[in-house]
Amino acid sequence: MNAAAQSDNLPPLRDVIEKHRLIAKKSLGQNFILDLNLTRRIARAAAPLENCTVVEVGPGPGGLTRGLLMEGAHRVVAVERDHRCLAALAEIADRYPGRLAVHEGDALKVNWQKLLEDTNTDETIIVANLPYGVATALLTNWLEAEPWPPWYKRMALMFQKEVAERIVAEPGTKAYGRLAVIAQWRTRPRIVLNLKPEAFTPPPKVSSSVVFFEPRQNPTPSCSPQTLARVTAAAFGQRRKMLRQSLKTLTPMPELLLHKTGISPELRAEALTVAQFAELAAAFDAGAGPPR
């Protein structure tokens, strides 16, 4: 490796993996990035990192963790489910005293505000190479956080490329669906980096992408994220059907809801804008049509 990648004076990641016998587990959705130049590029996608606490999920042997610290993160709070990785992460913590806190546990069950209650930096951000199996669930939890604006200032998250394309998809496209609606209603997501399978060990069967999320301070139209989830679940659950039919799983008289929002009952879900879905959710909560 070049001098820049070695500037933290820690062993190469391949040596770390061999030393701690960290064979990636498919059951945990693990695919490690061993190129520190690349992990530093991912870290820079969330810049600036100075005076920031960075939340990282699934650090594994610590490739991205090292990249974040090398790029100036004031503090990294990492949540790792695989106890095998803790020793490798402890070595990074020793190299960066007071700048890395590692918590063993399931990120889906973490109370983030409690975990970060002693944070005294200017901003908290999330940067992670998310385990494939829980990536969408974690993202949805963060997008539905209450109160809003959320506890984080921005996110840079890696997904399978197909999932990333669903997040940024536009109305009228095949990729457009529930994930695009909630992501684009509450944030401004954009793909900032694409990675080929060869960037990972072991190489996955698909490419990956890093998506940057900038939270909207006041998402409009205003609605309940839980109701928005119900509306999109109904609409996209039968996306080939017209709204007057697909929304019957939400309300027995969807025509009343559609009439109030001025949306044609003959449209299909993929034709609606993010704002129109939010309008439907707001109207539903206001009592437009009896809920089932």
Q: Which tokens belong to 128?
A: 């992670």
What is the tally of structural domains in the chain? 2
Domain boundary (194, 215, 236) is at 215
pLDDT tens for 21-40 read 887 677 666 678 889 999 99
- Asked if 34 contacts 201 with a C-beta cutoff of 8 angstroms, the reply is yes
- pLDDT at position 4 is 41
Q: Which amino acid is at 47?
A: A
Out of 11-20, 224-233, 266-275, pick the least confident: 11-20
Q: Of 32-36, 179-183, 253-257, 287-291, which gets the smallest average pLDDT? A: 287-291
The answer to whether residue 2 is domain-embedded is no
Q: Quick one: tokens of 101? A: 């806190």
Domain carrying residue 119: 13-215
| Feature table: binding site | 31, 33, 58, 80, 106, 129
Which residues, 6 or more positions from 17, have their beta carbon under 8 angstroms from its beta carbon? Answer: 23, 32, 34, 61, 88, 201
198 and 79 in a common domain: yes
Q: Where are the beta strands (DSSP E) in 172-243?
A: 187-195, 200-201, 208-215
User: Of the residues 170, 195, 215, which one is the last residue of a structural domain?
Assistant: 215
Pairing of strands 100-104, 123-129: unpaired
Other CB atoms closer than 10 Å to residue 114's CB: what's the count? 8
| 119-175 pLDDT tens trace | 888 899 999 999 888 999 999 999 999 999 999 999 999 999 999 999 999 999 999
For range 100-110, the mean pLDDT? 96
Instruction: Judge if 31 and 129 occupy the same domain.
Output: yes
pLDDT tens per residue across span 60-77: 999 999 999 999 999 999
**201 with 260, same domain?**
no
Residue 220 in domain: no
Domain membership of residue 292 (yes or no) is no
CB atoms within 10 A of CB 12: 14
146 and 252 part of one domain: no
Residues 17 and 115 in one domain: yes
pLDDT of residue 85: 94
- Mean pLDDT, the chain, rounded, equals 92
pLDDT tier for residue 5 given thresholds of 50, 70 and 90: very low
Could you say which of 159, 189, 215 is where a domain stops?
A: 215
In a domain, 54, yes or no: yes
* pLDDT value, residue 288: 61
The CATH number for 256's domain is: 1.10.8.100
Q: Are residues 188 and 103 in the same domain?
A: yes
Task: Give domain status of residue 3, yes or no.
Answer: no
| Binding annotation for S-adenosyl-L-methionine | 31, 33, 58, 80, 106, 129
Task: Assess if residue 48 is contained within a domain.
Answer: yes
Taking the C-alpha atoms of residue 116 and residue 100, their distance in angstroms, rounded to an integer, is: 13
State the average pLDDT over residues 194-217: 93
The tokens describing 152, both together, are 């984080």
Q: By the 8 A CB rule, do 191 and 164 touch? A: yes
Q: Determine the Cα–Cα distance for residues 112 and 151; give it in Å rounded to an integer.
A: 8
Using the predicted structure, report yes or no on whether residue 52 has a pLDDT greater than 60.
yes
In a domain, 5, yes or no: no
Tokens of 62: 């610590």
In a domain, 208, yes or no: yes
C-alpha closest to that of 220 among 186, 188, 181: 186
Residue 27 has what pLDDT?
Answer: 67
pLDDT surpassing 70 at residue 289: no
Residue 6 has pLDDT above 50, yes or no: no
pLDDT in the model for residue 3 = 37
Same domain? 149 vs 241: no
Same domain, 95 and 176: yes
Question: Half-sphere exposure of 208 toward its Cβ, with a 13 Å CA cutoff?
Answer: 25
Secondary structure (DSSP) of 127-169: EEE--GGGHHHHHHHHHT-SSSS-S-S-EEEEEEHHHHHHHSP
CATH number at residue 141: 3.40.50.150
